[in-house]
Amino acid sequence: MKLTIKNTQGASQGELEVRFPVIENGKGTQAVHDVVVAIRAANRSGTACTKTMGEVAGTGKKPWRQKGTGRARAGSFASPLWRGGGVVFGPKPRDFRKIVSKNTKKLALRKALSARMRLGDVVLVEDLKIASPKTKDFLKVRSALELKGTTLFVTGGVEANLMLAARNVTGVELATGESVNTYQLLQFDKLVFTRDAFEKIEQRLS
């Protein structure tokens, strides 16, 4: 498979041969599912916390005597049956992370990128360097590349001007070739890679 390389004005600058094996069949679908579930699970804060009967602040005194009042027996103000009492089997802080093997992550990344390339959602540019950190300069590049909807821009490294210019634009996210993951490749309508970023991903998949 070959991808057309464009410049920031939208003009063609040649083609790039994809060096990793593109997945054409259903292989890797389960790997994508497992990786996306793991990424979303790792993003959960896991800070939900309730107090048990023993953790509720208050006296340990019996509310009233056992017999003779005509009321039901009660042994604690922290009873789960009472307002302000403890919670039975309530949530506690926990880590939701799931373990996924390196080979599964690599297969999922290759499957996701292959699918997006076959759908024509991948745009390859020579570079994404802009002269100033102004949003209007970034929007000119976005318009020249005819990008509509949400877009993920993947660069070879951190571009300071690009980061400052794009941070106020809704539906735009930046990533690097070393950090981009499967979930990001599936989230956005269009994926824009610089040439060096795409080569770094190819190295990850080789």
Nearest Cα residue to 179 out of 114, 98, 124, 105:
105
pTM for this one? 0.84
Q: Which residues contact 2 (CB under 8 A, 6 or more apart)?
A: 15, 16, 17, 18
Q: Domain 2-20+28-44+101-205 - what CATH class?
A: alpha beta
- Asked if residue 35 lies in contact with residue 104, where contact means CB atoms within 8 angstroms, the answer is yes
Distance separating alpha carbons of residues 4 and 14, to the nearest angstrom:
6
**pLDDT given for residue 93 in this prediction:** 97
**pLDDT given for residue 118 in this prediction:** 92
- Domain boundaries, given as residue ranges, for the chain: 2-20+28-44+101-205, 46-95
β-bridge mates for residue 154, sequence order: 175, 193
**pLDDT given for residue 150 in this prediction:** 95
**pLDDT given for residue 25 in this prediction:** 85
Regions of the chain where pLDDT drops below 70: none
pLDDT digits (tens, 9 = 90+) for 35-74: 999 999 999 999 999 999 999 998 999 999 999 999 999 9
Q: How many CB atoms lie within 10 A of CB 105?
A: 18
Q: With residue 62 as reference, give the H or E element that holds it.
A: none
- Asked if residue 108 lies in contact with residue 35, where contact means CB atoms within 8 angstroms, the answer is yes
Q: With residue 183 as reference, give the H or E element that holds it.
A: helix 182-187
- The one-letter amino acid at 22: V
Q: How many CB atoms lie within 10 A of CB 138?
A: 24
Q: How many CB atoms lie within 10 A of CB 50?
A: 13
**pLDDT given for residue 105 in this prediction:** 96
